[in-house]
Structure 1
Amino acid sequence: MPEELPVARRWAVGALLIMTFATGLVDAVSYLRLGHVFVANMTGNVVFLGFSLSRASGLPVVAPIVAMAAFVLGAILGGKLNRILSDRPRLWVGGAFAGQAGGLTLTAVLLSTGVLRPEGRIVLAIVALLAACCGLQNATVRLLAPRDLTTTVLTQTLTALSAQSVLGAGTGAKPHRRVGSLLVMFAGAATGALLLQVTLAGVVGLAATAVAGAACLFALAPGPDETRPG
Structure 2
Amino acid sequence: MPARSPPFRGIRASTTPGALQEVSANLRVKEVKSSDTERFVVGHNPDAADRDAAVRANLVERIEEMIETSDRLSPTKRAELRGVISTKPGLNRFLRVTPGGLLRVDTARITADVKLDGKYLLRTCDPHLPTEDIALGYKQLLEVERGWRDMKQVLDLRPVYHRLEDRIRAPVVPCWLALLLDRVVETQAGAPDQATTWPRPRDQLPRLHVGIFTRPAGLFRQTTPPSAEVRRLHQGLDIALPPRILDLDTEPSTTP
TM-score, normalization: structure 2? 0.24
Higher relative contact order structure (alpha carbons within 8 Å, sequence separation ≥ 6):
1
Between Structure 1 and Structure 2, the one with more helix by share is 1
> Rg larger in 1 or in 2?
2
